[in-house]
Structure 1
Amino acid sequence: MLIASLAVLLVFMILLLSSKNKYREYTEPLDKEEYKLKDLLCVGLFIMDKIKYSYNTEYDRKVLDKISELKGPKYSVYYLQIYWANKITLMFILLILFLFVGVSQEEITTEYLFFGVFVLALVVFVSYRELDKKVKERRLSIQIDFPDFLNQLVLLISAGMTVSRAWERIVEQSEKDTVLYDELRIVLADIRAGKSEINAFEDFAKRCRIPEITRFSSIIIQNINKGSSDIVPMLLRQASECWEMRKHAARRIGEEASSKLLFPMMLMFAAVLLIVATPAVIAIMGSM
């Protein structure tokens, strides 16, 4: 087992040293906070390149769809490659740890082998679940911020501003660094770069992928095409509905936070109970 452990570690180090310079620029844009294994991802990228992986399975398409929503379609393929590289590198590291822990045991049991296989398989499942969690958090963040933005937009349009001018004013005056306001800035940048307003709003809806934004974009596009005078009442109705949705979203966040606190509270209760009960138990045992 020791020889196998050292052999796998040696292979990992050889792959790391031989691929580090090759993929340095490729991994440079990645955020170290988000990708903890950034400096080791070259190993995963090297392996995926050597096996000539096509990134075209049904699973890849599902992952790509979620990555497109999180990172945007322009760099989605790049982040799909990083997703796989991160997964392969993590599995490699876990395999090395698994082998070295096995060295400390007198013998490798069947249960230990099954546990190792289970942990490696868990990496595949957890990485996808983490991606799914990020998508849900992104959508929830948009739903939380959208009613406030919509109210501001309605007020400015009612005051005589055009949609694009009101949009520009809200974005320029806001200091919020949230998902929705990042998307609003992208729309403004697209329009300033020469993209038509209709295409900019359509792309906005495609990136956000929530019903509220899709409906809102449809109202704005309809106003651009037909010059509808009913835009303010329509947006007011949607704003009212969105505030109700925001209340439900806030309630859901509160419920999730409460459920997350439940387990630590149970542990604290058990610890307090143990501290209080231990002297009594010792006293009873001593009197017997």
Structure 2
Amino acid sequence: MQFINLLIGTILMLIFAIQLLFKTDYDSLVEDLPSDIYPMKSIYKVGFIWSRISFLSLHGDTKDLLIGQAKLLYDPRYSEYYASVIWSQILSFVHFFIGLGFLLAGALNLAFLLVVGIIFAGVTGYYFFQRMGAELKTRHEHCVEELPEVVSTFALLINSGMVLNEAWSKVAMSKEGVIYDLMRQACVDIDNGISEIDAFYRFGIMSNSPEIKKFTSLLIQSMEKGGKDLSDFLSAQSVEMWGEKKQYMLQKGEAAATKLLIPITIIFAGILGLVVSAAVGILL
């Protein structure tokens, strides 16, 4: 068994090294990726090579999921590219850790190292697979928390007589934050010739937030009616948003308290077990 593990590990790591060392067209696909988001990006070409094999290619529901997430995080025109980068990233790290696990298990005659390698492969693969989803979830949470203040400021500016586009731009430039970044992107879209309605609609989609989608949908309806009731609409939305934020923060606090209760319960059970064990020892 030791020899088989060593042989498989050697073959896998040799294949990895050969794929890594030879110059391919895939090198140019990863060189401009930010290293903080895509660590060890130079090895991703290994995954790109593996993805050319039909059963290892990105397809089906997995492809649809990754492309859908990439459309929300990046320019939709490049969503398929980013989805393929994530998939290649996963394949590269899975190959590396499984190969390393086999090699170390064979070289040191320690079978558990193969299990460790497989676990590392699974953990890293899962981490990279869910990264975009986690980023979208974080974006949604930030947007929900920031939305009431945005709507309130927006309402004040509109009520003071400022036109819609100018008020939107002023709010977008007023602070740093996820929702403000998305608002600034909407400003860029408008400057590039996209209509206000389309830019605001895309803003709602990119936020990945049902609350913002609802707000932008109602805002667009008001604009299509001529914007006569825009001031009243924004004032009403401001009051509603603050109420929803209060409920959201209460739910978030309850969820955090529930998560905290689990380790406290485990610690209490451990202490109780020690006390009972000591008491039983004394009685015996």
Both structures adopt the same fold (TM-score exceeding 0.5)? yes
Query: What's the counterpart of residue 157 of structure 1?
Result: 158
Q: What's the CA shift for 1:104?
A: 5.6
Measured in 2, the distance between the counterparts of 1:266 and 1:9 equals 45
- Asked if 2 retains the 8 angstrom alpha-carbon contact of 1:219 and 1:231, the reply is no
The corresponding residue for 2:278 is: none
Distance in 2 between the 1:207 and 1:166 partners? 20
Higher deviation after alignment, 252-261 or 65-74: 252-261
Per the alignment, residue 72 of structure 2 pairs with: 69
C-alpha separation between the residues in 1 aligned to 2:134 and 2:237?
27
Structure 2 CA distance for partners of 1:255 and 1:72, relative to 1, 3 Å: farther
TM-score when scaled to structure 2?
0.81
Contact 1:140 1:249 in 2 (8 A): no
Match of 1:33 in 2: 36
**Aligned equivalent of 2:81:** 78
Q: For residue 103 of structure 1, report the CA deviation from its aligned partner.
A: 2.0
Count of residues in correspondence between the two structures: 280
How is 1:212-251 mapped onto 2 (pairs within 5 angstroms)?
212-251=211-250
| Structure 2 residue runs without a partner (length 5+) | 276-284
Kept after mapping to 2: 8 A contact 1:8/1:96: yes
Pairs within 5 Å for 1:1-288: 1-19=5-23, 22-49=25-52, 55-103=58-106, 106=109, 108=111, 120=121, 125-174=126-175, 177-259=176-258, 261=260
SS in structure 1 of the partner of residue 161 of structure 2: coil
Identify the residue that residue 286 of structure 1 maps to in structure 2. none
1: CA distance, partners of 2:116 / 2:93? 16
Deviation at 1:89, TM superposition (A): 0.8
d(CA) in 2 for partners of 1:202, 1:179: 17
Retained in 1: the 8 A contact 2:105–2:114?
A: no
TM-score (norm 1): 0.80
| Aligned equivalents of 1:130, 1:265: Cα separation in 2 | 29
Cα distance change of structure 1 residues 273 and 162 upon mapping to structure 2, 3 Å threshold? same
Amino acid at match of 2:149: D
Opposite residue 215 of structure 1, the aligned amino acid is K
CA–CA distance in 1 between the matches of 2:172 and 2:117?
A: 50
Aligned-residue offset at 1:127: 4.1
Deviation at 1:17, TM superposition (A): 0.6
Task: Check whether the contact 1:41–1:85 (CA below 8 A) recurs between aligned residues.
Answer: yes
The alpha-carbon deviation at position 269 of structure 1 amounts to 7.3
State the secondary structure of the residue aligned to 1:161.
coil
Q: Is the 8 A contact 2:8 2:103 kept in 1?
A: no
> Per the alignment, do residues 10 and 259 of structure 1 end up closer, same or farther by CA in structure 2, a change over 3 Å counting?
farther
Would the alpha carbon gap of residues 253 and 193 (structure 1) be closer, same or farther in structure 2, given more than 3 Å must change? same
Give the whole-Å Cα distance in 2 for the aligned partners of 1:101 and 1:264: 35
Cα 1:106/1:41, change in 2 over 3 Å: closer
Aligned 8 A contact 1:37 1:86 in 2 = no
Shift of 1:130: 3.9
Contact map agreement 1:198 1:221 (CA 8 A) in 2: yes
Amino acid at match of 1:14: I
2:173 is paired with a residue of what secondary structure? Answer: helix
- Tell whether the 8 Å contact from 1:72 to 1:207 is kept in structure 2 after alignment: no
- The alpha-carbon deviation at position 64 of structure 1 amounts to 1.4
C-alpha distance in structure 2 between counterparts of 1:86 and 1:204, whole Å: 29
Whole-angstrom distance in 1 between the partners of 2:245 and 2:103: 50
- Computed over aligned residues only, the root mean square deviation of the Cα atoms, in angstroms, reads 3.6
Q: Give a deviation string over 1:134-187, Cα, whole Å, max 9, x none.
A: 22221111111111100000000000011111111122232xx42211110011
Q: Which secondary structure state, in structure 2, belongs to the residue aligned with residue 35 of structure 1?
A: coil
| Worse overlay, 238-247 or 6-15 | 238-247
